[in-house]
Structure 1
């Protein structure tokens, strides 16, 4: 800010001194120019997804239950540690460019490959448990956690005991904690389900964990369900 005395500046009769001010605002023409450029969104995920959807230039195949899916070794290796080991070590899959997959349904493999190519799993909610098993098998940690989150949202009285067993088996701590909390909250209803009988017969340590969680939460003895 620059103060310039007015040519007629003077003390007036009311003892005030008046001046005139000039303001100079500086701006960068370069910054203005940049704000006018709209950079397109990155389409890499969509472009890679097209490779998978349209089977463009495949160089390997994955076979499950008699169905064959065309794919690309470089993308599979870049996105999945298990496929990377197959195609970079002296294994049969590297020589034949063919991967035989067992104990998985074709629709689950298709969803797994969709995630590998695009980072998305549009049908995850319909097959969260099966897809989590596949993600665990192929060391896809992000997909596994996505499935875990979906299963947390799907807890009901009917499936809570079975999901607890599943969470313990596949080392999903958030899902296990959520299942334990849910069962303790609705224990009287859950204890009438077939899944609860499975816990009683084959997983007594889970019952001990359920009881321990109630004690840790401060539930009074009179309000603790009789698990044993």
Structure 2
């Protein structure tokens, strides 16, 4: 973290990304937080997507959260057999609904539907 503070750059590997995300969130280092989110998102899998989503919620990591949601939607067939999947879907539905409300009320979209 100190390297990032002094130089503005750092190599974030998966071994330290979770702890670094926590520190970056605590000290409001948004650039470092994004680097951590990107590193963590590269490791999302069927087995850990629930934990990754919880991590994104804990540290308000929106990029990671969106990566998790996209992964969940893309891997529906593989994830639907997991016992925790219904709980996960319940948690993401409000966010998906909010996304569609924003998209569907954008001026360009409204104009396109009226043609």
TM range, smaller chain: 0.5 to 0.7
Q: Confirm or deny: 8 A CA contact 1:160 1:183 kept in the other structure.
A: yes
Q: Confirm or deny: 8 A CA contact 2:46 2:78 kept in the other structure.
A: yes
In terms of fraction of residues, the more strand-rich structure is: 1
**Matching residue within 84, 89, 106 for 1:197:** 84
For the pair 1:180 / 2:65, whether they are aligned, the reply is no
**Counterpart of 1:209?**
94
Pair 1:123–1:166, CA change in 2 (3 A): closer
Structure 1 CA distance for aligned equivalents of residues 59 and 76 of structure 2: 23
For the pair 1:135 / 2:24, whether they are aligned, the reply is yes
Structure 2 CA distance for aligned equivalents of residues 118 and 154 of structure 1: 26
**Counterpart of 1:150?**
39
Pair 1:143–1:182, CA change in 2 (3 A): same
Q: Confirm or deny: 8 A CA contact 2:79 2:85 kept in the other structure.
A: no
Pair 1:124–1:116, CA change in 2 (3 A): farther
Q: Confirm or deny: 8 A CA contact 2:53 2:64 kept in the other structure.
A: yes
Structure 2 CA distance for aligned equivalents of residues 144 and 172 of structure 1: 8
Deviation at 1:150, TM superposition (A): 1.5
Structure 2 CA distance for aligned equivalents of residues 207 and 125 of structure 1: 25
Give the root-mean-square deviation of aligned CA atoms. 3.0
Q: Confirm or deny: 8 A CA contact 1:161 1:183 kept in the other structure.
A: no
**Counterpart of 2:106?**
none
- In structure 2, the gaps of 5 or more residues are 102-115
Q: Confirm or deny: 8 A CA contact 1:148 1:174 kept in the other structure.
A: yes
In terms of fraction of residues, the more helix-rich structure is: 2
Query: Which structure has the bigger radius of gyration?
Result: 1
**Counterpart of 1:164?**
53
Deviation at 1:168, TM superposition (A): 2.1
Structure 1 CA distance for aligned equivalents of residues 62 and 90 of structure 2: 16
| Secondary structure of the structure 2 residue equivalent to 1:135 | helix
Q: Which of the pair has the greater relative contact order for Cα pairs under 8 Å at 6+ separation?
A: 2
Per-residue CA distance 1:66-88 (angstroms, 9 max, x = gap): xxxxxxxxxxxxxxxxxxxxxxx
